[in-house]
Every structure is written in C-alpha cells, then in structure tokens.
Amino acid sequence: MPDAIFDLTSRVLHKAMDCASVQHRVAAQNLANLETPGYRARAVSFEARLRDAVRAEAGGGEGSVERVRPELRATGDPPGPSGNNVSIEAEMLSAGEAIGRYQALTRLLDRRLQMIGTAIGDGRSG
C-alpha cells in the first residue's frame, strides 16, 4: 500500500475490518456446528493486539499493524450433554457485533479516503 494514501489511520481501519471479518466467519462456523456432538465453540479477539500495534507504530515500530492477527480461543462455555458448547444466543450476538463493526469501519475508511481525495484536489467533496 502506498504510504501517501494509506497512513496509520487507514491501515488500522483496514486491519480492523479484516479482524471483524474473521470474527463473523468464526461465529458462522460455530453456528454451523450447533448440533455437532463434541464441537467446541471458538471466539475471536484482536482489539488489544491492534491497540498495542498502534502504540508500537507511534513509537517507530513500522509494520506492527500489518502483523496483527486475530486470536482464536475456546469460549470456555460449559458443554451440554452432547459435549457441544455452542450458544446460539452468544453466536448471534457475536455475528451481529462483527457485522456492525465491519459496516462502521467501512464508513470510516470511505470517509477517510474521501478526505484524502479532497485534500489532493480531485474535485470531490464530502
């Protein structure tokens, strides 16, 4: 990505979108295995890692944001009689959260790119 357009803010938004996409896929996978005996639900976290990467880049650690990977972990919810621990309510909430987050990040990145376009004088306005 050219640094002139994709500054730290834009790269963080892009990485957060990638992570929200993973969160949605994991929730969908958990829901798809709702009836699978012994299946253990997974959850995704990335916020703390992304925050640490932003701090590292602000301190001169180039490429820290690009190296952020979402962390997949077991939910820790107790299993039911079949050994499956998927909670339909928790997974629907996680999927909805991921969708909302992705949409908000998309709007923010779009607005950011509009501002850059305006700044370089391409005639577009917000």
Radius of gyration of the chain (CA): 18
- With 90 as the cut, is the pLDDT of residue 86 above it? yes
Q: Which amino acid is at 63?
A: G
| Closest of 6, 4, 5 to residue 65, by C-alpha | 6
Confidence of residue 113 (pLDDT cuts 50, 70, 90): confident
Confidence of residue 2 (pLDDT cuts 50, 70, 90): very low
The pLDDT of residue 96 is 96
Chain segment 23-79, per-residue pLDDT in tens: 999 999 999 999 999 999 999 999 999 999 999 988 887 888 999 999 999 998 999
The pLDDT of residue 1 is 43
Mean pLDDT of the chain: 89
Buried b / exposed e over 32-70, threshold 16 CB at 10 Å, is ebeeeeebbbbbbebeebbeebbebbeeeeeebbeebeb
What residues does each domain of the chain span? 8-119
- pTM, entire model: 0.83
Q: Residues with Cβ < 8 Å from 89, sequence gap 6 or more?
A: none
Q: 107: which 2 tokens? A: 């709007």
Going from the C-alpha of 86 to that of each of 5, 23, 46, 95, the distances in angstroms are: 42, 15, 21, 13
- With 80 as the cut, is the pLDDT of residue 122 above it? no
Confidence of residue 117 (pLDDT cuts 50, 70, 90): confident
Question: Which whole number is the average pLDDT over 94-111?
Answer: 95
- Measure the CA–CA gap between 58 and 124, rounded to whole angstroms: 30
